[in-house]
Chain A
Amino acid sequence: MNRSPYITNAPAVSSIMLKVLLALVPGIFAYAWIYGGGILVTISLATTTALAAEAALLKIRQRPIRPYLSDLSAVVTAWILALALPPLAPWWLVVVGTFFAIVIAKQLYGGLGYNPFNPAMVGYAVLLISFPLIMTKWPAPLILAQTKLSFMDQLHFIFSNTLPAGIKIDAVTSATPLDYLKTQLMLKHEITAIMQAPIFGIFGAKGGEFVTAAYLLGGLYLIQQRIISWHLPTAFLGALAAISLAFYAVNPAHFADPLFHLMSGASMLCAFFIITDPVSGPTTPRGKLYFAAGAAVLTYLIRTYGGYPDGVAFAVLLMNMCVPLIDAHTQPRVFGHPKD
């Protein structure tokens, strides 16, 4: 029988996923430092829900549970979704979002390897459409908050939606810079004036920019480990910078500068951890460039003209739909075949 090759040198799917989780750790640390330990609760909640939902669905679908649960792909989805949610999201929000991501977006399409859409982004989009108010209510970074919530206070808030006596919700939350920018621009304020608000940092959101930088660090680690190819992040960040620069150049009073776009919202998380999901993304090198650039342009357009402050989730989902088309039209030239 011919069953060659007899040797392999491939990391297991689980070890690839583990490295992605590892790469998220600096971002999580920065997140906890800036917004408090509540995020750790959110991540644990999402992870538990994801694993439970995955196991239940595998059981229903009569698939082996152990190998699929230990591939860690559900955990990656859970962590990315948790990091995309507001830090003080109530427990049920996390559970509902994760449930949608794992059950609807992943398992019902056939499980690992078969989901056409990024599961975490499906979960996020469902929550954003269903609960826009909660989803856009972000706690102020601890350095800015009038009242600082302790870890226990955050824990209590996540599960019971109550704050310590004497503290009002407005005292601990604030608009995100992208949200604030959008509403202020609608009020015909100028960018330079808007940017004077305390929530803006040097590059993006005050405090938030550290988290973003930590994602960048983790992303570079993934490229170095050859878990992700350079094509996707480079094209995403490049295209986002290019389109925001074009708008900024035309009217700097109305459009934020490229650096702000790169360092705000979910840009970095998207560039290195969201669009790099191999299953729902394209496989050809050229296709990856088109896919990422398309996601960046859509993100910018939704941020600037859309109804939601950040456009990453919808941009990624829309580009997911184009993947078969992109792949089909970006096939590389096969050895010995003419250029066409």
Chain B
Amino acid sequence: MMNSIIQFASKLVRGQTGETADIYKFHGGVHPDGHKQESTTRPITKLSIPEKLVLPLRQHVGHIPKVKVQVGDRVLKGQMLAEAEGTVSAAIHAPTSGTITAISEQVIPHPSGLPDMCVTLTPDGKDEWIPLQTTDWRNTDKNTLIASLRSSGIVGMGGATFPTQIKVRADGKSHIHTLVINAAECEPYITCDDMLIRERADEIVKGMEIVKFLLGAEHCIVGIEDNKPEATIAMTAACKALTNTTVKVVPTLYPSGDARRLIHLVLGIEIPHDRRSTDVGVQVFNIATVLAIYRYFTFGEPATSRIVTMTGSVNSPQNFEVLFGTPLQTLIDAAGGAKSGTTHFIMGGPMMGFDLPTINVPVTKAANCIIAATPDLFAPPPPAMPCIRCARCADACPVNLQPQELYWFSKSDNFEKAYDYKLFDCIECGCCSYVCPSNIPLVQYYRYAKSEIIAADKAKEAADLARERNEFRLARIEREKLERAQKHAERAASGKAEATKAGEAKTAPAKTETDKPAAAATTDDAKKAAIAAAIERAKALKAAAAQADDTPEKTETETTSTAHTSSETAPAEADQDAQAKAEQAKKDKQALIAAAIERAKAQKLAAAQAGISPKNVEDASPAVQAEINEIDAIREKALQTGKAKASDSED
């Protein structure tokens, strides 16, 4: 009630009472200068085959694919060079015919600037295709189609590079009713989707039909920002032939191209923070991905090229159709070369892109845009001033977070609080930094805090695992001991000598000592739990012993536990009772283990939130696994830069 009044009054003050029909606005957002007209004056040009192609194996989110070729092999265009391995993975294909000249580590276009495995292909200029196999998708089993997508090499082309086959396969949990096609392209400078729609709307629409069929979706909605009138006209005309398909024009407001924002804009559905869009029956695809799917099924062509916007400080900014692996320099040359004063190159848009570590990197599946940067275009930010709590960032946040609080917590390493204030809902869109009068690099602080929390969670997960293992081991030792005690009692009852048994029982504690370091690695919680369990056991045994106090035969063994508690074991007569108690203790332990697994799962879920990228892939929980590995590698670096930034902003 209170909030609705506030919202209404806010809208009144800003003069935003008139809502566009069927468009559900989200909170915040910013209006950066588009800079799109520069690269839309010329049509998409196909770039000629370069002298060398360098294909990083890791061009997608997920597992690294397995190389199928060797140095010296001659390959044909479209031939698979590396096959998808594991569930979340994508294949790599030869973009043209030629010879494999190297399989080695080379610098890839990644913020870390670290080298990664690449296949180098020297083209022979013949551009000879492998025999292509077309698919009559309408008359083919869906599962066969989805399985075949695994060898297509197609990933999310909006920049998130999530393997496409994962997004179309049915999870059996929820039915997809609506396919949302992301053509918002909200980042400044980027025009590859815009130009693609203008020129190839008919093919895109055919791809939409296929995806709709694969998902079993009834409806299809194309979301386009209103700064792309030509694309809107082309798309609307092309969509006329389709049933249940609408083109929705959304207001130009960054970050409307973020999947969750776009779903809210066109459908009014707010996806719960801990769910994926598929849980509410919606799946989002980028138009370039849809086009690639069309070409794969209709012509048999795997993913070998993409449209890249080459813009910024180049002589003729333009969109190019570029083979994967093409050196960046070839692309720059095609755009008339970089103007003087160009300092570096940015991959992606100016809101979420990153500095390319060097110019010697290839174009990959993720490269939607390359911007030649000059200090004129992107002035280095003035030194950061203290936060004055003006809350402009909170007004701009599309997730309705309180960035000023998150900044405060991240800066002071108060990660628990940052987590409580929903740090992991942050999509790193950069709106907060964009509006900050104090020029604080807010997103960097959040990335730092996230990587720290993920690292801590990973450490905790490892500790939990160690504890689980230890608890399991303790349970086993306990069980073995009881078994021994039982046997021992049986033998005693049958009048056998017990000296040999006692010797055997003594070996157990000795074994415990060797496993001590593992136990030491467990957390305090684990210790407490173990101690409590040990005390319980001791009590149970004592009670049992008390009951059978008058029995003459007593044996002495030691109860193992991390707390090194020892107690008297139950005599033969009390065995039954003690065993029942031990069973109970075992059950308790199982419950503990189950709880630990639950915790680990919750942590994984939390980590998954970190990977949500505001481009076109909805949720990337498996993706996060891969991301975590990367983050681990660059964490040191991020930490240092984060710290450096933090100290910068002090003064």
Q: Given contacts A3-B355, A285-B10, A335-B270, is CB(A278)–CB(B388) below 8 Å? A: yes
Contact of A336 among B271, B404, B641 (CB under 8 A): B271
With A and B bound together, what is the CA distance between A230 and B9 in angstroms? 9
Asked if B139 lies at the interface with its beta carbon under 8 angstroms from chain A, I say no
Name the residue on A nearest B645 (C-beta): A3
Q: Interface majority SS on A: helix, strand, loop or mixed?
A: loop
Separation in Å of the B438 CB from the closest CB of chain A? 6
By the criterion CB–CB under 8 Å, are A327 and B437 in contact?
no
By the criterion CB–CB under 8 Å, are A111 and B386 in contact?
yes
Q: Given contacts A9-B30, A13-B437, A231-B6, is CB(A283)–CB(B391) below 8 Å? A: yes
Separation in Å of the A285 CB from the closest CB of chain B? 5
Asked if A10 lies at the interface with its beta carbon under 8 angstroms from chain B, I say yes
Asked if B512 lies at the interface with its beta carbon under 8 angstroms from chain A, I say no
Q: A259 contacts which chain B residues (CB < 8 A)?
A: none
Interface stretch, picked from A63-71, A132-140, A193-201, A303-311, is A63-71
By the criterion CB–CB under 8 Å, are B439 and A335 in contact?
no
Which B residues are within 8 Å of any A CB, using their own CB?
A: 2-3, 6, 9-10, 13, 26-27, 30, 32-33, 111, 113, 188, 260, 264, 270-275, 346, 348, 350-355, 357, 373, 378, 381-383, 385-392, 394, 398-402, 404-405, 421-422, 425, 430, 433-439, 441, 443-444, 447, 641, 651
Residue-wise, chain A 1-30 has the 8 Å CB interface mask toward B (1 for contact) of: 111111111111101100000000000000
Contact of A4 among B352, B392, B394 (CB under 8 A): B352
By the criterion CB–CB under 8 Å, are B425 and A9 in contact?
no
By the criterion CB–CB under 8 Å, are A113 and B387 in contact?
yes
Q: A8 contacts which chain B residues (CB < 8 A)?
A: 381, 433-436, 439
Separation in Å of the B421 CB from the closest CB of chain A? 7
* Known A9-B434, A10-B437, A336-B399; further 10 A-B contacts with Cβ < 8 A: A5-B443, A8-B439, A12-B437, A110-B386, A230-B9, A332-B3, A333-B3, A335-B260, A336-B270, A336-B274
Asked if A286 lies at the interface with its beta carbon under 8 angstroms from chain B, I say yes
Residue-wise, chain A 313-340 has the 8 Å CB interface mask toward B (1 for contact) of: 0000000000000010001111111100
Top 3 closest A-B pairs, CB basis?
A113-B386, A5-B430, A336-B273
By the criterion CB–CB under 8 Å, are A334 and B389 in contact?
no
Name the residue on A nearest B394 (C-beta): A283
By the criterion CB–CB under 8 Å, are A338 and B272 in contact?
yes
Separation in Å of the A33 CB from the closest CB of chain B? 31
Q: A334 contacts which chain B residues (CB < 8 A)?
A: 273, 399-401, 422, 425
Asked if A284 lies at the interface with its beta carbon under 8 angstroms from chain B, I say yes
Separation in Å of the B110 CB from the closest CB of chain A? 10
Q: Interface majority SS on B: helix, strand, loop or mixed?
A: loop
Asked if A52 lies at the interface with its beta carbon under 8 angstroms from chain B, I say no
Q: B425 contacts which chain A residues (CB < 8 A)?
A: 334-337
Q: Given contacts A1-B354, A9-B32, A327-B405, is CB(A112)–CB(B398) below 8 Å? A: no
Contact of B188 among A7, A10, A12, A229 (CB under 8 A): A7
Asked if A281 lies at the interface with its beta carbon under 8 angstroms from chain B, I say yes
By the criterion CB–CB under 8 Å, are B402 and A283 in contact?
yes
Name the residue on A nearest B427 (C-beta): A335
By the criterion CB–CB under 8 Å, are B260 and A336 in contact?
yes
Q: A67 contacts which chain B residues (CB < 8 A)?
A: 383, 385
Contact of B389 among A111, A113, A230 (CB under 8 A): A113
By the criterion CB–CB under 8 Å, are B378 and A6 in contact?
yes
Separation in Å of the A76 CB from the closest CB of chain B? 11
Interface CB pairs A-B, < 8 A, 27? A1-B113, A1-B641, A2-B111, A2-B447, A4-B350, A4-B352, A4-B353, A6-B350, A6-B378, A7-B434, A8-B434, A16-B390, A73-B388, A112-B388, A229-B391, A283-B389, A286-B2, A289-B2, A331-B402, A332-B394, A334-B400, A334-B401, A335-B260, A335-B270, A335-B425, A336-B272, A337-B272
Asked if A223 lies at the interface with its beta carbon under 8 angstroms from chain B, I say yes
Separation in Å of the B411 CB from the closest CB of chain A? 12
Q: B357 contacts which chain A residues (CB < 8 A)?
A: 1
By the criterion CB–CB under 8 Å, are B433 and A5 in contact?
yes
With A and B bound together, what is the CA distance between A5 and B355 in angstroms? 11
Asked if A114 lies at the interface with its beta carbon under 8 angstroms from chain B, I say yes
With A and B bound together, what is the CA distance between A67 and B386 in angstroms? 11
With A and B bound together, what is the CA distance between A7 and B31 in angstroms? 11
Q: B641 contacts which chain A residues (CB < 8 A)?
A: 1
By the criterion CB–CB under 8 Å, are A333 and B400 in contact?
yes
By the criterion CB–CB under 8 Å, are A279 and B439 in contact?
no
By the criterion CB–CB under 8 Å, are B434 and A3 in contact?
no
With A and B bound together, what is the CA distance between A285 and B348 in angstroms? 34
Q: A331 contacts which chain B residues (CB < 8 A)?
A: 402, 421
Residue-wise, chain A 256-291 has the 8 Å CB interface mask toward B (1 for contact) of: 000000000000000000000011010111100100
Separation in Å of the B307 CB from the closest CB of chain A? 22
Q: Given contacts A333-B400, A337-B422, is CB(A4)–CB(B430) below 8 Å? A: yes
By the criterion CB–CB under 8 Å, are B385 and A71 in contact?
yes
By the criterion CB–CB under 8 Å, are B6 and A114 in contact?
no
Name the residue on A nearest B399 (C-beta): A335
Give the residue among B264, B357, B383, B389 with the most A Cβ atoms within 10 A: B389
Name the residue on B nearest A113 (C-beta): B386
Separation in Å of the B420 CB from the closest CB of chain A? 10
Q: Given contacts A1-B354, A5-B430, is CB(A335)–CB(B113) below 8 Å? A: no
Separation in Å of the A16 CB from the closest CB of chain B? 6
With A and B bound together, what is the CA distance between A286 and B443 in angstroms? 25
With A and B bound together, what is the CA distance between A16 and B435 in angstroms? 13
With A and B bound together, what is the CA distance between A265 and B249 in angstroms? 52
With A and B bound together, what is the CA distance between A278 and B388 in angstroms? 6
By the criterion CB–CB under 8 Å, are A16 and B430 in contact?
no
Separation in Å of the A7 CB from the closest CB of chain B? 5
Name the residue on B nearest A228 (C-beta): B390
Near B by CB (< 8 A), chain A positions 209-268 give 223, 229-231, 234
Name the residue on A nearest B609 (C-beta): A336
Contact of A10 among B394, B401, B439 (CB under 8 A): B439
With A and B bound together, what is the CA distance between A6 and B381 in angstroms? 8
Q: Given contacts A7-B350, A8-B381, is CB(A335)–CB(B391) below 8 Å? A: no
Separation in Å of the A171 CB from the closest CB of chain B? 45
Q: B392 contacts which chain A residues (CB < 8 A)?
A: 10
Q: Given contacts A71-B385, A334-B422, is CB(A3)–CB(B271) below 8 Å? A: no
Separation in Å of the A4 CB from the closest CB of chain B? 5
With A and B bound together, what is the CA distance between A110 and B30 in angstroms? 31
Separation in Å of the B560 CB from the closest CB of chain A? 46
Q: B443 contacts which chain A residues (CB < 8 A)?
A: 4-5
By the criterion CB–CB under 8 Å, are B350 and A5 in contact?
yes
Q: B405 contacts which chain A residues (CB < 8 A)?
A: 283, 327
Q: B9 contacts which chain A residues (CB < 8 A)?
A: 230, 234
Separation in Å of the A87 CB from the closest CB of chain B? 30
Q: B6 contacts which chain A residues (CB < 8 A)?
A: 231, 285-286, 289
